Amino acid sequence: MGISRTPTLTRTRDLPGRCDVAVLGGGLAGLATALRLQAAGLSTVVFEAHGHAGGCAGYFRHRGFSFDVGATTLVDFAPGGVGDELLASTGAPALDAEQLPGYVAWLPDRVVTLHREQSRWHAERLRTLGDSRAHRRFWAELDLLAEVFWAASRSGIRLPVRTPADALHDLRAVGLRNLPLVRHLGRTMGDALRAHGLRGQDSLVSLLGMLVEDTVHSTVDRAPLINAALGVTIRGAGLTRHRGGMHGFWRALVTHYRALGGDLRTGCRVQRVTDRQDSLLGRRRHGDPGFTVHTARGSVDADAVVSALPAPVTAEVAAGTPVAAGLRRYLVRDEPDLGGAVVVFLGVPEHEVAGQEFTHHQLMQDYRRPLGEGNNMFVSVSSPGDEISAPPGHRAVMISTHTELAGWQGLSEAEYAVRKREIGQRLVEHTRRVYPRLGEQAVVWQVGTPRSYERFTWRPQGAVGGVRQTLRNSNQFAVPHRTGLPGFWQVGDTTWPGLGTVACVLGSRLVAQDVLRHAPTGVRS
Q: Tell whether 445 is covered by a domain.
A: yes
Q: Dihedral sign for Cα 18, 24, 27, 28, please.
A: negative
Calculate the alpha carbon distances from 509 to 89, 157, 475 in Å: 10, 10, 17
Q: How far apart are CA 474 and CA 165, in angstroms?
A: 20
Q: Tell whether 443 is covered by a domain.
A: yes
Q: Tell whether 182 is covered by a domain.
A: yes
Q: How far apart are CA 115 and CA 149, in angstroms?
A: 21
Does residue 364 share a domain with residue 319? no
- Examine the fold and report which residue of 183, 212, 236 is the final residue of a domain before the chain moves on: 236
Does residue 151 share a domain with residue 171? yes
CATH code where residue 379 lies:
3.90.660
Question: CA angle, corner 142, sides to 139 and 144, nearest 5?
Answer: 110
Does residue 219 share a domain with residue 124? yes
Does residue 219 share a domain with residue 131? yes
Does residue 489 share a domain with residue 375? no
Q: Tell whether 81 is covered by a domain.
A: no
- Examine the fold and report which residue of 445, 462, 479 is the final residue of a domain before the chain moves on: 462
Does residue 360 share a domain with residue 273? no
Largest interatomic CA distance in the chain: 68
Q: What pLDDT score was predicted for residue 6?
A: 37
The total number of structural domains in the chain stands at: 3
Does residue 352 share a domain with residue 312? no
Q: Tell whether 216 is covered by a domain.
A: yes
CATH code where residue 517 lies:
3.50.50.60
Q: What pLDDT score was predicted for residue 294?
A: 96
The full length of the chain comes to 525
- Examine the fold and report which residue of 236, 265, 286 is the final residue of a domain before the chain moves on: 236
Does residue 432 share a domain with residue 360? yes
In the 8-state DSSP scheme, what is residue 16? P
Does residue 447 share a domain with residue 396? yes
Q: How far apart are CA 486 and CA 304, in angstroms?
A: 8
Inter-residue contact 345 to 446 (CB < 8 Å): yes
Does residue 311 share a domain with residue 225? no
Does residue 225 share a domain with residue 122? yes
CA atoms within 13 A on the CB side of 451: 16
Does residue 356 share a domain with residue 370? yes
Q: What pLDDT score was predicted for residue 520?
A: 57
Task: Please list the rounded mean pLDDT of every run of 10 residues in the chain (525 residues).
Answer: 37 78 97 98 96 93 96 88 94 94 96 94 97 98 95 88 91 93 95 98 98 93 95 81 96 98 96 72 47 94 95 95 95 95 98 96 97 97 97 98 96 98 98 98 98 89 92 92 92 75 91 87 42
Question: Residue 444: which domain range?
Answer: 339-462
Q: How far apart are CA 97 and CA 246, in angstroms?
A: 11
Q: Tell whether 424 is covered by a domain.
A: yes
Q: Tell whether 103 is covered by a domain.
A: no
Q: How far apart are CA 359 and CA 382, in angstroms?
A: 7
Q: What pLDDT score was predicted for residue 121?
A: 95
Calculate the alpha carbon distances from 269 to 298, 410, 453, 456 in Å: 10, 26, 16, 12
**For the stretch 96-121, what's the b/e string if a residue is b when 16 or more beta carbons lie within 10 angstroms of its beta carbon?**
ebeebbbbbbbbeeeebbbbbeeeeb
Q: How far apart are CA 388 and CA 392, in angstroms?
A: 9
Q: Tell whether 52 is covered by a domain.
A: yes
